[in-house]
Chains A and B, each alone.
Chain A
Amino acid sequence: MKKVRRSLRAARRITNFVIAHYLSAIEAHRRNKWVAWCTAVPPPIEILYAMDIQPLFPENYACVCAVRKETMELFRKSEADGYLQDLCSYARCVIGFLLGGKAPLGGMEKPDFLLSTKNVCSIYLKWWQVMSHYLKKPLLILDCPRITDKIEKYHIEYVKDQLVSLIEELEKITGESLDINRLRSSVELSRKAAELWHKSLDLRKNKPCPMGVTDASAAMFPYVVSAGARDAVEYYKMLYEEVKNRVKEGIGVVDEEKYRLVLSGIPYWHNLRLFNYLEEKYGAVFVYELYTATWGIYKPDPSKPLESLAYKSLFNPINLPGEWTVEWIVKVMKEYDADGVIMLSSRSCKATSLLHPAAQKVLSKEYDIPCLIIEADHTDERAYSDAQVKVRLDAFMEMLEARKEK
């Protein structure tokens, strides 16, 4: 039976937010302000907002290209230049644009400098070096050591020290000093947005689940790009109210919610309809994504802005030990009363994918949590086979059904 799907009004408004975000960089240059290309997993963009520097995010831009199915020409451009198909498809997409490929929304406004963190993958550093080379613009790097046990004081001191140097560099670039009170306000805005975003996500513990994965994947955008700016806070106020109302009225993503799922990995942006398939055919709803929850997972503290931003940069699930991720999944499975985990592995994203098979083994053996791994690519649809993926999903759902009947 085909189930009815409902999307949030707030999620539909994201298109406008996205357009406004890319226009804001053009506007920044028009006002003689600065534009920086930043990595998307918690770099301290609160500092940039406090200094009137507009950040832009190549990874998000690649998502936009994939959702609009406008990646192929960009891939062809970068591949013709020697960037192999095994390399990060986000990177190949944006490098294709830098090499002259035709890109949606008129392309990204070119930056005055680039800022890369090293808290997710080794690709961040290499990809940003490549872009800095083509753009002939300086690259600033924030090094975040991997955490093998817990975040220690010396890790925080190291990153904080680098933030001090980063601010000095930014002051040189802009010719203006950072006002610490503006930084505090910006961190406060970031904290508020993170809190509202996670309060909205928490509401998905309710049955039926009021917000689906497609909406959550869209609604995370403001926090990624605007942590530290007012528009993100406004957006999440609106989102939170809408989701809360849905809970009050008992409105779910689908009419008959039958299965509750947890998602690990990056959504396949070129085929978000895959989620509709599960919702419509099985009444299976994603109630938690490790991916969307990554942003805002740590709420920075405006009373100690630098230390707190250092912690935020380090505290990113992929930068934490594998056991941490396994425990995280076990915890949310319980809290959200979920039935199983679907892991979307991406052939060109080792950082978010390589742990999947080992985690699957531990989750099923030690915790009896059913997990399915799908292998495709987050941006490159050539690595995706719809029929094969659906066969695997069908088999998994049948297994979940059998477990429910027991």
Chain B
Amino acid sequence: MNIDDLLNDPIQYVKKTAQSCGRNVVAFFPVGVPIELIHAANLQQFPLIIMSEDFSAADAYMHTFACSLSRSVLQKFLSGDLDFVKAFIIPDICDSLWSLYNIVKLTDPNRKLYLFHYPPKKDDKSLNYFKGEIIKLWEFLKELSLSQSSEEILKDSITKFNEQRKLLRKLNNMRKSNSPPFSGTDFFKLMLAAFFMPVEHHIDMLNSILGNIEKWGTKKEGVRLLVSGHMVENVALIELIEESGGLIVADDMDIGSRHFSQDLAVRKDIFAGIAEHYLMTPSPYRHSVEDRAEYILKLAKEFDASGVIFLIRKFCDPYLFDYPILRRMLEEEGIPSLLLEYEFPFSAAILRNRVEAFIEMLR
């Protein structure tokens, strides 16, 4: 199956892969949930970056001012499309997801749900508590597994994901060039695949791409941009930016550089290493706006971006709270930015107009 097939029908892809590998499926929101644990428990990961065009079932259980991602997941859940999922891991990052957790629990009390807590601080006490959370999650996952697991296997999984991170960084660094060999859309598709595919397959894919880079992807011209956002679920949004004259050369996203910018250090206390890695990744759910600004500015300089697009889903409070200060801090460094707020399903024409106007200004 190629990437486009996967993205056209992610649910089908997950089902098929789980079946062929003989694994149970665990769904999760890919925001700092240690994917290594899922892999090491020999479970098929299912990132909940899915979209629904129909909200009829969800609207009866959740207000329309929750974000369209949580409403999409609820819709698919209520309509039975996710019945094959053994368990759901919901990170406690925002009020929409905490409510989603409670609503699913109320409608189907027997569903296996796991709420994953993040401390909003980086001190030793937070790190220690977070480590405890990771161990609890590990125990939960091992119980769902159809095979035995161990810390040794977990170490192997971490090594594999670090290999994937290294290859992604290698590709990502090529975007520093004046004329990158591939577009931001190509790279984003590869990132989505990184969360859906078994990591071994993804590594093979990355190796073959790197071995033949000139033949992979589409070379694009455009104004160099950095995109900052969360779990962006839709390639069309990225495409739209590049079709409007932009070339995305860097990102500050969960389905992006946050996943691969640092390796996960294998420590003697393996869980302490995992905790440290996931707690330190810049994210509005736990970090200050100043920390985030520093990360974005560093990326923008390194990748020579002329402007930043904040790609934020409507009603995504944590990101929308950071935006005004980030905008000003970037402005002070001479980097213009645009807030591109969207809701699924979105009107491409309106978004395109806004991006075109922004790019005109940057030219």
Contact = CB atoms under 8 A, between A and B. Distances in A.
Interface of A: 81-84, 86-88, 91, 118, 121-123, 125-127, 129-130, 132-133, 139, 141, 143, 145-146, 148, 154, 158, 161-162, 165, 321-323, 326, 345, 347-348, 350-351, 353-359, 361-362, 375
B61 A145 contact: no
A358 B61 contact: yes
15 contacts: A87-B321, A123-B95, A130-B289, A133-B325, A143-B126, A165-B123, A322-B103, A323-B105, A323-B106, A323-B109, A350-B315, A357-B62, A358-B106, A359-B106, A375-B63
A345 B99 CA distance: 14
B120 interface: yes
A249 B51 CA distance: 60
Interface in B101-146: 101-103, 105-107, 109, 113, 115, 117, 119-121, 123, 125-126, 129, 132
B30 interface: no
Given A82-B323, A357-B63, A162 B96 contact: no
A358 B62 contact: yes
B290 interface: yes
Contacts, number: 134
The CB with the most chain B CB atoms within 10 A, among A88, A122, A326, A355, is that of A122
Given A118-B120, A122-B95, A321 B105 contact: yes
A83 B63 contact: no
Given A323-B105, A345-B63, A145 B314 contact: no
Given A148-B115, A158-B129, A354-B95, A126 B106 contact: no
B217 interface: no
B65 A126 contact: no
A160 to B, nearest CB: 11
Contacts of B94: 122, 350
Given A88-B317, A323-B109, A350-B317, A141 B121 contact: yes
B75 to A, nearest CB: 13
B1 interface: no
Contact of A326 (B98, B106, B126, B318): B106
Interface in B275-325: 284-285, 288-290, 314-315, 317-318, 320-325
Contacts of A121: 95
A245 to B, nearest CB: 41
A-B CB proximity, top 10 nearest: A322-B102, A82-B324, A354-B99, A126-B321, A350-B95, A358-B103, A145-B117, A122-B94, A358-B61, A351-B95
Given A122-B317, A130-B325, A358-B61, A84 B109 contact: no
Contacts of B96: 350, 354
The CB with the most chain B CB atoms within 10 A, among A121, A133, A361, is that of A133
